[in-house]
A and B are shown apart, each in its own frame.
Chain A
Amino acid sequence: GAGVSQTPSNKVTEKGKYVELRCDPISGHTALYWYRQSLGQGPEFLIYFQGTGAADDSGLPNDRFFAVRPEGSVSTLKIQRTERGDSAVYLCASSLPGSGSVNEQFFGPGTRLTVL
């Protein structure tokens, strides 16, 4: 079956611009996660959705970052007034509901964002 997909695979933008990154989770996965991976580092948690609501957004670095999941499936990560430090690979993962158990998170291929 289809895995997690992310679009675009690469995004180059200029400092100060607005970008949107899209994630299509595995069908039936109600849990969705966004992570950011800087060069030479492990992924860092940004935000977690259970269904349509953001259950944990403690990893968002500042108010320029925002994410939505209006219908409980596709999610969009939005970054306003991009800065060069936002350059990274943005990863999306989905899983079955996690309450009371630990379900495997399936990762997408990522979107490589470059801010010039």
Chain B
Amino acid sequence: GNSVTQMEGPVTLSEEAFLTINCTYTATGYPSLFWYVQYPGEGLQLLLKATKADDKGSNKGFEATYRKETTSFHLEKGSVQVSDSAVYFCALTQGGGATNKLIFGTGTLLAVQP
């Protein structure tokens, strides 16, 4: 079945450091890929998405590229801020007329220190 695997946390970085959170997936067909973020005390929010191979999603300085050949969707940011501290979830949907239910990874806690 479809699944998402993301690197375990917590990831602890100093402000302005480079961030990578790895995400790989297993899916049939052509899934759409997402990164969701959960800030402390808040609900899940969509951070970025990519709906086809080689697409790059970007938002708030974060980027991720849909790599079909490596079945990956790694999240990157060139310079993190304390306000980026949150739990990040990689997710996919099967799309194509299906229910579009999201399948999530286990989440990666990012802690950015000043």
Contacts and interface: CB of A to CB of B under 8 A. Distances in A.
Interface residues of A, number: 29
A30 interface: no
Interface centre among A95, A103, A107, A109 (most CB of B within 10 A): A107
A3 to B, nearest CB: 8
Nearest to B107: A42
Interface in B45-87: 45-46, 49, 51
A107 B97 CA distance: 21
Interface residues of B, number: 23
A56 B101 CA distance: 9
Given A41-B107, A42-B91, A42-B106, A108 B43 contact: yes
A105 B51 CA distance: 14
Interface string A75-107: 000000000000000010101001110111101
A107 B107 contact: no
A65 to B, nearest CB: 16
Interface of A: 3-4, 31, 33, 35, 40-45, 48, 55-56, 59, 91, 93, 95, 98-100, 102-105, 107-110
